[in-house]
Structure 1
Amino acid sequence: MTVRLIMSGALVGQELAAEFGPLPPAFLPVGVQRLYELQLKALAGAGPVHLVLPETFAAPPADLTRLAELGVEIIPAPEGLSLGEAVVYALNTIGAGDVAVHLLHGDTLIAEPPLHDHDVIVAGPRSTEYAWAEMAIDADGRVRSLVNTPAGEEGHEGWPIAAGYFAFASALDLLRALTRERGDFIAGLNHYLAGRAVQAVDAADWLDFGHLTTFFQSRLAVTTARAFNTVRIDGLSARKSSEDAAKIRAEAHWLQAAPPRVQLYCARLVGFGLEQGQAYYETEYEFLPVLSELFVYGAVGRKPWLRILASCEELLRALAATRGGGCGDAALRALAVDKTLARLEAYARAGGVRIDAPLSYAGRPCPSLLEIAERLVPAMDLASGRTACAMHGDLGFSNLLYDSRNRRIKALDPRGAIEQQPSVYGDLRYDLAKLGHSIVGRYDQIVAGRCRLTRDGGDYDLAFEPVACQPWLAAALGDLAVDGVSGLSEPVRAVTVSLFLSMLPLHADRPDRQQAFVANALRLWTELDR
């Protein structure tokens, strides 16, 4: 038997907490999942895993369910314990006896850990000037001792560091060593090393998420892109390419032609062209959190979120101040009416779905999807006479980064075209609706699977995991007004509903997600129809 512990019993340090809120390391967001999910994939097939968490941390219900599904037992640890004390506490709580013990630091991901070896420590190269535990190793690979090297010091030439995975053959010997050294993890390991032969094994691939710099470098390594795009990131730039050359050229044109005041809030274009038959453009890569990560998985407080929304408002004002491109109503009709109806028809053809059949939401009768799309048109106020203005066209949370140092968002992936014609211009209501589709539409939670869909024939219901910031973010969006348009005005909310209808054929590879989008469109429609 082997006891496997993921040691995540203390909250992240201040620099990471300032970005993501007070989370245990294993709960940090990495794309559309938490770090623990990646860790458990690496440990798959190795038997039961125990996750040590601070006893004061209230894990969201969806995470408790997910961990239970994965067979993980949570061990709540008292606050203030050192790492060594937390290991002793966890082993005593389990009461496993003298078995093998494998430890993984909660901020570490080892791609191929030595799951079935004992008395080994995974070794890796030192890549930054943070504090690390260096290892003195004999010529035969035996670890003689570990030494803490403070941050900023060069350390010992050629000494590898302990990468965060430790496999001990004897839980009792480990307990004795840590207890003798009063819970000092490194001193306890050195005591263990004095009595047992422990080998260093090189890490095939390991990532450290424990510091701000290493977090973003590590997250870069697990970055994924949507299926219809190819994104290549080298740490300096992000190159987006596609066989859809018109789409790529339109986005590059937008980034190049956007007004200077708008460009302050957008990714910086560094090049574009053709390569191997595909169009591409490159933007400067930003080591910043994505708003979708913060919304779904973060624990950021009210004040930081209001600063984020204030920066979104600044961008919207800069966009609205740039007039031109004809009639805003015409642009909005093309994007929110014509496109939605065409996409609904494509959804019906591809899936053999009836879009003219009446539906219901939580027992309340609703029109068909087609009728909803048609009844949304009057609510959009397409005879407003608004002049077109500069428009990003895809201001959802998944396309917005936030730099907490200068308190400014960075917007990625502009739409760049209306009816396949490159254009910087569009309608403010569409940008506000895209922002609303993340805040009130909760699009990012659906994509992350943090909701529960129930369906009985044509009756749908959708329950979302509670997100602490969502109610007052929605209220703040309602208070936001740009160029006379409220963030939750009827036209904006109507466009938000249409967005969920129009994205249905884009997710044909995920029928479960398509049905969640249908349910969400019905939910938003019933709220608008009231």
Structure 2
Amino acid sequence: MTVRLIMSGALVGQELAAEFGPLPPSFLPVGAQRLYELQMQALEGAGPVHLVLPEAFAVPEADATRLAELGVEIVLAPDGLKHGEAVVYALNAIGAGDAPVHLLHGDTLIARPPLDVHDVIVAGARSTEYAWAEMEVGADGRTASLVNTPAGEDGHDGWPIAAGYFAFASGLDLLRALTRQRGDFIAGVNHYLAGRPVVAVMAEDWLDFGHLTTYFQSRLAVTTARAFNTVRIDGLTARKSSDDTAKMRAEAHWLQAAPPGVQIYCARLLGFGLEQGRAFYETEYEFLPVLSELFVYGAVGKKPWLRILASCEDFLRALAATRGDSSGDLALRALTADKTIARLEAFARAADVRISEPLTYAGRPCPSLLQIVERLVPAMDLDSGRVACAMHGDFCFSNLLYDSRNRRIKAIDPRGSVDRTPSLYGDLRYDLGKLGHSIVGRYDQIIAGRCRATRDGRAYDLAFDPAACQPWLAEALGDLVVDGVGGLSDPVRAVTVSLFLSMLPLHADRPERQQAFVANALRLWCELDA
């Protein structure tokens, strides 16, 4: 049986670690999943796979479970090994013998790897000036040698590079070669090539996630749009389109009309129009990580996260300083109280759920969902007399990017209206509630399936996977005050609870997610009502 290894036995380099924290390459976030999930999709049908990880890396429980579901066995290699040494260690640890060995580098995604042929190296075209292993290939397709080309050098014209997938027919010959070359992977492969004919096969489609530039280019290639709109990205611009013309017009108007102090934190609008009957607007595409990815899948430390939240605060202050001439209370009522009751009733009809029955959460008696909504209204203080200010309207982690170089967030997808009339204005408490629904509400973990909701009749419970950054962020949000409104003040927390109830009918295709939303709303209500 062929031995298949995904070699991810060392942490990513400094550039990527600065963005995502100290992760093995296969654990890098790519959209709403980790890279290893995409790699396993490409290896589907290949049989058992071993994932080599550094011994010091603590595999999160959710990832250990997911890897087991995918049929992946983890091999922990001692820290500090060279790449070739880690290969030798892994092969010895699993008792590979003389079976064929296929290696996939942990920072590489090969769309259609040669799963059933041996003595093959997948080759690709060089696309950047990073250091690569170039391949000297003869006219007969046989690989003569691999040559390391330093970063910044042109290399050899016409030579492809080793794309990160190696298929060796003899595990013993590979072990001998790597051992003889003292764990130097390239030298070991060259030693193997001297004794066996190995063919170069050009990759049809391959992506490299091993460097900051190639990571974001590769991430772009696998990005998917949300179900309720279409996003077309070409690496220069992002074009968002929808049949809902009013929605597109409102979002574009917001990005265009926002004052300079707000626009500096937002995606730059390039155009708006109609195409084949659909409204669209275009913004400059940003090669930046999304906060939802960092929250769920990243390993960023406390100080970087506090800098991120500080930039969120700066943006909120810029919004609050842009005053309107209408009532913030009326805007907040329209966005929460009125909408939540209508959405909750729609959920009850579609899911055949009784929203007037009392419930329990973690053994604690709770009001019915309908009663909770009714009690949230006075908690929001809708007679505060606050004047409307500029409002993003969907200020949550999935709509926030972060540029670590200038330490500034970039906000995308503003709401643009309260009543479908394009407007900058709304209420600060709604934006803070949206931010809270990511931090204390842990919305992105629910979407990613990083929680376990249980229900027994009218009794609910919910447990989240650990997220090291969450307590830091919750504490910092509690200390945040913008224009006299606390980040975890009662009105803001009431808004956050209402958000989870109002989104219930929007997830009718995922009953397990709806169950988690209900449980989470009960959890947050219990904390508010403590």
Provide TM-score, normalisation by structure 1: 0.99
The aligned counterpart of 1:426 is: 426
Pairing of 1:20-31 with structure 2 (within 5 A) = 20-31=20-31
The aligned counterpart of 1:200 is: 200
The aligned counterpart of 1:241 is: 241
SS of residue matched to 1:416: coil
Instruction: Please report how far the alpha carbon of residue 325 of structure 1 lies from its aligned counterpart in structure 2 after TM superposition.
Output: 3.9
The one-letter code sitting in structure 1 at the alignment partner of 2:190 is N
Structure 2 stretches lacking a partner, 5+ long: none
The aligned counterpart of 1:446 is: 446
The aligned counterpart of 1:122 is: 122
Instruction: Please report how far the alpha carbon of residue 417 of structure 1 lies from its aligned counterpart in structure 2 after TM superposition.
Output: 0.8
The one-letter code sitting in structure 2 at the alignment partner of 1:296 is V
The aligned counterpart of 1:102 is: 102
- CA deviations 1:182-241 (Å, max 9, x no partner) are 111011101100111111111111110000000000000111121111000000000000
Write the distance in 1 (CA, Å) between the matches of 2:457 and 2:122.
53
SS of residue matched to 1:273: strand
SS of residue matched to 2:309: helix
The one-letter code sitting in structure 2 at the alignment partner of 1:441 is G
- CA deviations 1:157-187 (Å, max 9, x no partner) are 1111100000000000000001111111011
Write the distance in 2 (CA, Å) between the matches of 1:24 and 1:356.
48
The aligned counterpart of 1:345 is: 345
Write the distance in 1 (CA, Å) between the matches of 2:50 and 2:529.
48
The one-letter code sitting in structure 1 at the alignment partner of 2:380 is M
Instruction: Please report how far the alpha carbon of residue 506 of structure 1 lies from its aligned counterpart in structure 2 after TM superposition.
Output: 1.0
Instruction: Please report how far the alpha carbon of residue 357 of structure 1 lies from its aligned counterpart in structure 2 after TM superposition.
Output: 2.0
Instruction: Please report how far the alpha carbon of residue 107 of structure 1 lies from its aligned counterpart in structure 2 after TM superposition.
Output: 0.3
- CA deviations 1:328-368 (Å, max 9, x no partner) are 00000000111111111221222222222221111211111
The aligned counterpart of 2:91 is: 91
Does 2:259 correspond to 1:266? no
SS of residue matched to 2:162: strand
Write the distance in 2 (CA, Å) between the matches of 1:509 and 1:204.
35
Instruction: Please report how far the alpha carbon of residue 515 of structure 1 lies from its aligned counterpart in structure 2 after TM superposition.
Output: 1.0
Pairing of 1:469-508 with structure 2 (within 5 A) = 469-508=469-508
The aligned counterpart of 1:183 is: 183
Instruction: Please report how far the alpha carbon of residue 455 of structure 1 lies from its aligned counterpart in structure 2 after TM superposition.
Output: 1.2
SS of residue matched to 2:341: helix
The aligned counterpart of 1:172 is: 172
Higher mean Cα deviation, 346-355 or 290-299?
346-355
The one-letter code sitting in structure 2 at the alignment partner of 1:390 is A
Does 2:507 correspond to 1:512? no
Write the distance in 1 (CA, Å) between the matches of 2:98 and 2:234.
46
Kept in 2: contact 1:125–1:161 (CA 8 A): yes
The aligned counterpart of 1:414 is: 414
- CA deviations 1:398-429 (Å, max 9, x no partner) are 00000000000000000001122211000000
Write the distance in 2 (CA, Å) between the matches of 1:360 and 1:329.
31
Kept in 2: contact 1:250–1:422 (CA 8 A): yes
The aligned counterpart of 1:10 is: 10
Aligned residues: 530
SS of residue matched to 2:436: helix
Write the distance in 2 (CA, Å) between the matches of 1:346 and 1:417.
22
Write the distance in 2 (CA, Å) between the matches of 1:65 and 1:431.
35
Q: RMSD across aligned C-alpha pairs, in angstroms?
A: 0.7
The aligned counterpart of 1:310 is: 310
Higher mean Cα deviation, 479-488 or 348-357?
348-357
Write the distance in 1 (CA, Å) between the matches of 2:163 and 2:107.
10
Instruction: Please report how far the alpha carbon of residue 454 of structure 1 lies from its aligned counterpart in structure 2 after TM superposition.
Output: 1.3
Kept in 2: contact 1:325–1:426 (CA 8 A): no
The one-letter code sitting in structure 2 at the alignment partner of 1:384 is S
Does 2:261 correspond to 1:281? no
Percent identical among aligned pairs is 83
SS of residue matched to 2:466: coil
SS of residue matched to 1:200: strand
The one-letter code sitting in structure 1 at the alignment partner of 2:340 is T
The one-letter code sitting in structure 1 at the alignment partner of 2:321 is A
Provide TM-score, normalisation by structure 2: 0.99
Higher mean Cα deviation, 509-518 or 48-57?
509-518
Kept in 2: contact 1:21–1:299 (CA 8 A): yes
Instruction: Please report how far the alpha carbon of residue 473 of structure 1 lies from its aligned counterpart in structure 2 after TM superposition.
Output: 0.7
Write the distance in 2 (CA, Å) between the matches of 1:494 and 1:225.
30
- CA deviations 1:226-284 (Å, max 9, x no partner) are 11110000000000000011101100000001111000000100011000000000000
The aligned counterpart of 1:137 is: 137
Instruction: Please report how far the alpha carbon of residue 141 of structure 1 lies from its aligned counterpart in structure 2 after TM superposition.
Output: 1.1
The one-letter code sitting in structure 1 at the alignment partner of 2:276 is Q
Write the distance in 2 (CA, Å) between the matches of 1:368 and 1:283.
43
The aligned counterpart of 2:336 is: 336
Higher mean Cα deviation, 172-181 or 341-350?
341-350
The one-letter code sitting in structure 2 at the alignment partner of 1:412 is I
Write the distance in 1 (CA, Å) between the matches of 2:159 and 2:521.
57
Instruction: Please report how far the alpha carbon of residue 111 of structure 1 lies from its aligned counterpart in structure 2 after TM superposition.
Output: 0.7
The aligned counterpart of 1:209 is: 209
Higher mean Cα deviation, 489-498 or 508-517?
508-517
The one-letter code sitting in structure 1 at the alignment partner of 2:374 is E
SS of residue matched to 1:29: coil
Write the distance in 1 (CA, Å) between the matches of 2:325 and 2:50.
59
The aligned counterpart of 2:59 is: 59
Write the distance in 2 (CA, Å) between the matches of 1:343 and 1:266.
30
Write the distance in 1 (CA, Å) between the matches of 2:350 and 2:236.
40
The aligned counterpart of 1:382 is: 382
SS of residue matched to 1:417: coil
Write the distance in 1 (CA, Å) between the matches of 2:374 and 2:139.
75
